[in-house]
Homo-oligomer: A and B are copies of this chain.
């Protein structure tokens, strides 16, 4: 199977297990109050919405790469990882005031449109919290040994703390011009942390040898960095058709993706003034965004960000090769990372 087929194949299995878990949770909610039952239906739709399950499939493949098989326990653990990723997204979308996520409404918008913004945003806050509790409950009920679950719980706590710290810095960067080093520090706890955790969880549950755990952690980190940089490039450089929603959202919010930070470093003073004027406009038109793209591109910043993404991708591949993961799992990670590297060239 190609890595895309693998993602699709395992994605369906994780989805089925997720449906079981959330059906149980919905039953308990129904006994409490019809509104909360509806909230759990929304959670179900949001978590199981179509899309590549990169994080949980990374857990699953890392597990299979050591255990030699998949079983019901790891599917339950992957449901936990999906909940983990989505509880982060609920708060991320809320704070960034995003309306769309993977072809549907963001969680707070789902509720807001049936009531109003106050109930939508409030529910968004509380649902993100609730989903993190569900994350740990799903993991602790996966059926693995208590010893392994202890290790994995500590990782999910470390990861959640990390990602929330990086989210605050990401927000702070709307108020300042961070340097490349500062961006690297912030991003070390974002997607880098997510993939560190998800791959390590699979390794721990699959009985990876001690020496592999540190390598997996670093491999996940570099993989996460490359995804993160690519993701941000897409937000600025993708077309509406490629992206499925209007590009330029990060820049409109005053966020500082790596290619913008490189622009601060590399562009001429005039170009930079133009960029800042455009980026601070109340409404950034498609033409404004195109002018911003030209400045980022011509300063060499786009290329510099792509280079950094590629360096991380190459490091990740080298590290995966050093582990005792099965050849199939190595092939999965390597071809997925190569795809990310190659896809960088689509955005010019």
A143-161: CB near B (< 8 Å → 1, else 0) gives 0001000100110011011
Asked if A91 CB lies within 8 Å of chain B CBs, one says: yes
A91-B167 contact given A115-B175, A146-B146, CB 8 Å threshold: no
- Cβ 8 A contact of A119, one of B39, B94, B174: B174
Establish whether residues B127 and A129, one from each chain, have CB atoms under 8 Å apart when the complex forms: no
Asked if A186 CB lies within 8 Å of chain B CBs, one says: yes
The answer for the CA separation of A35 and B146 in the assembled complex, in Å, is: 37
A141 to chain B, nearest CB (A): 10
Establish whether residues A168 and B39, one from each chain, have CB atoms under 8 Å apart when the complex forms: yes
A4-15: CB near B (< 8 Å → 1, else 0) gives 000000000000
The answer for the CA separation of A177 and B336 in the assembled complex, in Å, is: 53
Asked if A326 CB lies within 8 Å of chain B CBs, one says: no
Asked if A346 CB lies within 8 Å of chain B CBs, one says: no
Q: Which residues of B contact A137 (CB under 8 A)?
A: 154, 157, 161
Q: Which residues of B contact A172 (CB under 8 A)?
A: 35, 115, 119
Asked if A128 CB lies within 8 Å of chain B CBs, one says: yes
Asked if A171 CB lies within 8 Å of chain B CBs, one says: yes
Establish whether residues B91 and A129, one from each chain, have CB atoms under 8 Å apart when the complex forms: yes
Establish whether residues B146 and A161, one from each chain, have CB atoms under 8 Å apart when the complex forms: no
A32-B153 contact given A119-B174, A123-B171, A175-B115, CB 8 Å threshold: no
Asked if A125 CB lies within 8 Å of chain B CBs, one says: yes
Q: Which residues of B contact A182 (CB under 8 A)?
A: 33
The answer for the CA separation of A229 and B210 in the assembled complex, in Å, is: 53
The answer for the CA separation of A153 and B143 in the assembled complex, in Å, is: 16
Q: Contact residue range for chain A?
A: 35 or more
Interface majority SS (helix, strand, loop, mixed), chain A? helix
A33-B130 contact given A91-B125, A125-B95, CB 8 Å threshold: no
Asked if A169 CB lies within 8 Å of chain B CBs, one says: yes
Asked if A122 CB lies within 8 Å of chain B CBs, one says: yes
The answer for the CA separation of A119 and B171 in the assembled complex, in Å, is: 6
Establish whether residues A126 and B35, one from each chain, have CB atoms under 8 Å apart when the complex forms: no
A164-B121 contact given A35-B172, A115-B175, A157-B136, CB 8 Å threshold: no
Asked if A113 CB lies within 8 Å of chain B CBs, one says: no
Chain B, Cβ-Cβ closest to A90: B125
Q: Which residues of B contact A122 (CB under 8 A)?
A: 95, 167-168, 171
Q: Which residues of B contact A127 (CB under 8 A)?
A: 164, 168
The answer for the CA separation of A125 and B172 in the assembled complex, in Å, is: 14
- 13 pairs of residues in contact across A and B, judged by CB atoms under 8 Å: A29-B165, A32-B165, A36-B168, A91-B126, A115-B175, A126-B164, A127-B164, A129-B129, A129-B160, A129-B164, A133-B157, A146-B146, A146-B150
17 other A-B residue contacts (CB within 8 Å) besides A91-B125, A129-B132, A137-B161: A29-B165, A32-B185, A33-B165, A33-B182, A33-B185, A36-B168, A95-B121, A119-B172, A119-B174, A122-B167, A122-B168, A123-B171, A125-B125, A126-B164, A130-B164, A133-B157, A136-B153
Q: List the 6 shortest-distance A-B pairs measured between CB atoms, nearest first.
A: A133-B161, A126-B164, A95-B122, A130-B164, A129-B164, A133-B160
